[in-house]
Chains A and B, each alone.
Chain A
């Protein structure tokens, strides 16, 4: 079995893992922020789809960077709906989340069809940024350190989210909103404003994740292309218990479970495509069975806050 771990295998595993894992990472980071503030964002997949489509269209007519920004903006716009219904009006987060998902699926499919018919225009690959010296390391150099710039930004966001949640007053407010909103309110901080920020950040990160999928990952946009990634991201966020560094580990592991089959093919082991498509979901089930007991959810997750309600 030792000959299995060749340079090519490891490189393929890692770069494939990043390719599939980065959208999960971005979306799950967003979900983490949202859940920490007490808003369960079931519509994450919808935000990813909107970001994926919006980003793709912008990238097609301008350039990939504006495309990524467009995807982020599309996600934020979708999250605005969530903000109005769930945070301001206090409607049920699960119902609104599902509605958002279904709506986003419909809108992106219709628009894609209306715009491109049955053709799927393709974007050029984003330029790869080689990190000096580090990119010379065998296996890791060609994979981890030779990636488009957005990948490094994605990893940097893990640190940013970790820092904001753990070490800033804004992070403290967010966590308080998720644990005991009335305490935050009593301390003189608006729960609605705090949760609004969290929901928009989630939309932005989800949209960016979707845009990464269509612009960097696939280079095309296909309806329903997120293929459950938003829900896997929710699972990752829950299992990570709100900690950004665990989100990174989780997302990369899931990404690698997808790239495993490609890597295996490289070393001559053939895996049927159906099994490949199944792998992330098997991974989710295994992770849930093994780790579900450890999932910690904020005490006020999913419950809207109304001041003075009794």
Chain B
């Protein structure tokens, strides 16, 4: 197969500059209960290169990285650093070997200052060597061209800055290998550009960088070498000479085939796969009837939140209005205020012209206002209950599922079977407990529940977050279809700008709990939204 030769043509590159790989893994296998996360993975990482690990969610990228960083121990296989075999059985060992990691979920402690976060684990004996730490921070920050206040609380920093601190932390002990796990997932377009600059700096200093992503275009943007993982196996590696000499379109085509195999053809239309921002969807006819209106809505923050202040927004019938913004800028507060899960401090919420400020959650539900939460496991479903019960979770006590206080199992299973069919939920039976479903299927359960029984306005909170490409595609299709065919209005909260550009008629931007502006989804919307996302003034 062509892929095999691509793996083999690594060797000439290894000869470049007369150095072997900094880190090499051979035959790494890791088995979790019921799933082979890594299946005999071979990988070689060289200094002065950005090595992209590309693959769908669940392809085994993060598992491999956790093995390198000492968080997991492999069930089989060997790891070599500088050609010598090593046992990485704790993060300490990885750090001592010069392998620094920026995890997908931030590992900064929000109530610690930047400095405290940096000196964590650095102490010798009792003393905290803050002087050395300060000097080191200044040095690294200058090298990377970033500016960080060492006395600021980490939790107060913007996510991009937090990530810069994480990078500094990962480089702290003189790391020569830097692993970045999905580093762009929390960043604005501008933040991503900055990150790319930092990576370039590091590369020039001879570091090996492992860049994990599921976005093809990112891999093409930053990668010198690209390895594609699929279902726990390496399906191919494109060496630097291949990446340099091949046109972008051809690379894309080859990688898509590797990533999705025989399914590639059916996914040709997916923006995520093509790796481009399609942007400005074709204008649709939207009625002028306002379905959901927020008038000067403020919500008091709960701990570690910022709340929302004076948000005014109208969603018309059949319209999809996006809410963009970096996570933690008031999205959840906004969604819950509309859904009724949180009281509105000042202002008013109107559903079809009628104030629902004092209407209960179930009252709003009955009026056709639905909320698809982003917390699928915690808030959205009850893991220990069956799929069927979860599907009617918000109708407990209502007919036809309950009659005079008694549950009617037949009505429930009939309804559940219908929904499982029409929403393509992959579950062994409707009696299977929800906790055993994958994230994608869990999301389908949520959608099936919220979108049944005549929805009029739906609030989606990060509806495709963490889903694989196929499910993402299916979910977006359903949102679009519902708006176009059944005139259901939608408030679509997402941190994925591409998703908003793909689906929305208009995009509102939340920053620091305030609505910075609403942008019509047309040419150039991306830049304008990006500018508002970091707090730029509306034009």
Contacts and interface: CB of A to CB of B under 8 A. Distances in A.
Contact of B128 (A167, A180, A182): A167
B170 to A, nearest CB: 9
A172 B112 CA distance: 9
B112 A188 contact: no
Interface stretch (B18-26, B64-72, B268-276, B347-355): B64-72
A189 B92 contact: yes
B111 A173 contact: no
Interface string A162-199: 00100111101101100110111111111000000000
A175 B72 CA distance: 24
Contact of B101 (A184, A186, A190): A186
Contacts of B91: 185-188
Given A188-B121, A308-B72, A183 B128 contact: no
A173 B107 contact: no
Contacts of A167: 128
B455 to A, nearest CB: 33
A307 interface: yes
Contact of B90 (A164, A175, A190): A190
B164 to A, nearest CB: 16
B116 interface: yes
B109 interface: yes
Interface residues of B, number: 31
B70 to A, nearest CB: 8
Contacts, number: 75
Nearest to B116: A172
Interface string B105-137: 001111110001101111111111000000000
Contacts of B169: 187
Given A169-B126, A169-B128, A170-B126, A189 B112 contact: no
Contact of B121 (A173, A175, A307): A173
Interface residues of A, number: 22
Contacts of B103: 186
B255 interface: no
A189 B111 contact: no
A226 B95 CA distance: 47
Contact of B71 (A164, A179, A180, A307): A307
Contact of A189 (B72, B120, B127, B128): B120
A189 B121 contact: yes
Interface in A146-171: 164, 167-170
Contacts of B96: 188
A188 B128 contact: no
Contacts of B92: 188-190
Nearest to B124: A169
B446 to A, nearest CB: 21
A182 B95 contact: no
B107 A169 contact: no
Given A185-B91, A188-B90, A308-B71, A173 B109 contact: no
Of the candidates A164, A169, A184, A189, the one having the most CB atoms from chain B within 10 angstroms of its own CB is A169
Given A168-B123, A169-B127, A188-B90, A183 B109 contact: yes
Nearest to B73: A308
Contacts of B127: 168-169
5 contacts: A168-B126, A169-B119, A169-B122, A172-B116, A183-B108
Interface of B: 66, 69, 71-72, 90-92, 94-96, 101, 103, 107-112, 116-117, 119-128, 169
Interface of A: 164, 167-170, 172-173, 175-176, 179-180, 182-190, 307-308
